[in-house]
Amino acid sequence: MWGQNAQHEDISGRGMTVEADILIEDRRWADLGLEKIAVTAIKAVLANVGLKGKVEVSVLGCNDARIAALNADFRGKPQPTNVLSWPDEERGAERDGARPDLPRAAPGEPVVLGDIAIAYEICAAEAAAAGRTLHHHAAHLIVHGVLHLLGYDHERDADATLMEGIETEILGKMGIADPYRVSE
């Protein structure tokens, strides 16, 4: 989706290969190491849900102005948001709180999950407000976005509980504190 200048990273292990097309439009993401953050987060999600084989995901590291334009174009909301995701196909579970089925590809073909965009300024502000590092917050948002690509959402209560629980579990394995726990 993001076009030229995308970088490809193949990561093998646990029966999966991740091809992440990462395009950095805002240099601050490169300085933070978004490429490594994204690949690590994608790999952690896929390992957690047990998806095997070759998987493709695209990630755009942009600024608030760019994500506001994308949000207006695709969701009719002309304001910045932290992360957007565009699944390659609808994968949501029909029953509230149920896990979506894992995507399958034809033999020899990759599973194409879709695209994610993440905005720098809003993410940095959210991380600062929550007392978290931007690195950890970005990893959380990539995990969140990949789960959306897999069909998880937070529109219904039981779905939100399931998704947050999976995010917390994955982030815990990555050494990142529960982002939903309110500090006292």
- Binding site for Zn(2+), residues? 144, 148, 154
Please state the residue numbers annotated as binding site.
144, 148, 154
Cβ neighbours around 93 below 10 Å, total: 17
- Run of H or E including 75: helix 64-75
- Quote the CA–CA distance of 77 and 180 in Å, as a whole number: 25
Burial of 160 (0-12, 13-18, 19+ CB in 10 A): middle
User: Is 63:115 a contact under the CB 8 Å cutoff?
Assistant: no
